[in-house]
Amino acid sequence: MSDFTPNEMMTIAASRALTSSDVCFVGIGAPSAACNVARLTHAPDITLIYESGTIGTAPDVLPLSIGDGELCDTALTTVSVPEMFRYWLQGGRITIGFLGAAQLDKYGNINTTVIGDYHKPKTRLPGGGGAPEIATSSQEVYITMAQSKRGMVEKIDFYTSFGHGDGGDHRKRLGIETKGPTLLITDLAIWKPDPETKEFTVVSMHPGVTREMVQETCGWQVKFADNVEETPPPTELELKTLRDLKARTDAAHKGK
């Protein structure tokens, strides 16, 4: 299993950032895959929470949405959405909020609302859902997305989920005490915010990736850490776990 895709590398790199002690608010898609790979490998005691109110869920297949019955069937308990947000999220009990993005800027601000002008958009996206609250109330936020100039832009078209705003201490000046985005995992690299400016900086590149590849798929001028590491490739266990999970998911969604 030495061969792997960029998407598999992204998912596995994201899963490695999680621990058994984390209480993770999970988004659908890549965040869900990463969180469940972590649960099935090195972080068996992680608490996964989905927006629909399922707590401590352990799905055998990846959910189609937050309302997928698989989540409720395998959860320790299910609470109402108001309780989920007011007690769990806004109460500071979520250690990691895991989000995706349609558009992202270098300060971790996310757009999942519209592409183009809000009143006359080129594309209307699914919207924020609970992401704006996750972005401000989770102790930390991790972001996963595939790199492209269309997705990683100098200026997002709409602020759906607040990251570090204009950079620096912008969050603190607005009275937001949580850390905000502390990690960005793409299909090419791992990024962390600069301690002072909060601009995302490449700290690790995945095997076979060059600086030119990272810059060519990013809409802003990329900053690289002084010592950029190489992301360790997926292990046989990590790849098998991810592929088995996706195979079960595909079979279940096809009714097999």
The Cα–Cα gap between 220 and 183 comes to 17
Q: What pLDDT does residue 65 have?
A: 86
DSSP calls for 175-229? T--S--EEEEEESSEEEEE-TTT--EEEEEE-TT--HHHHHHT-SS--EEEEEEE
Catalytic residue among 8, 51, 133, 199: 51
Tokens of 61: 């297949």
Tokens of 253: 């969604």
pTM of the model: 0.93
Q: In what order do the strands lie in the sheet with 77-78?
A: 77-78, 54-55, 47-50, 23-26, 96-99, 140-145, 181-186, 189-193, 200-205, 223-230
Number of H helices, E strands in the chain: 8, 14
Q: How many CB atoms lie within 10 A of CB 228?
A: 15
Which residues, in sequence order, are CB contacts of 71 under 8 Å at separation 6+?
Answer: 50, 52, 54, 57, 59, 63
The Cα–Cα gap between 76 and 99 comes to 23
Which sign does the torsion angle of CA 55, 179, 98, 1 carry?
A: negative
Nearest to 27 by CA among 57, 65, 60: 65
Tell me, yes or no, if 70 is annotated catalytic: no
Q: What pLDDT does residue 30 have?
A: 87
Partnered with residue 145 across adjacent β-strands are 186
Which burial class, exposed, middle or buried, applies to 65 when counting CB atoms under 10 A from its CB (0-12, 13-18, 19+)?
exposed
DSSP calls for 118-174? SSSEEEE----TTHHHHHHHSSEEEEEE---TTTB-SS-SS-SB-SSTTSTTHHHHT
Pairing of strands 110-111, 103-104: antiparallel
How does pLDDT run along the chain (256 residues), one tens digit per residue? 469 999 999 999 999 999 999 999 998 888 899 999 999 999 999 999 998 999 999 999 999 888 888 899 999 999 999 999 999 999 999 999 999 999 999 999 999 999 999 999 999 998 888 899 999 999 999 999 999 999 999 999 999 999 999 999 999 999 999 999 999 999 999 999 999 999 999 999 999 999 999 999 999 999 999 999 999 999 999 999 999 999 999 998 887 6
Length of the chain: 256
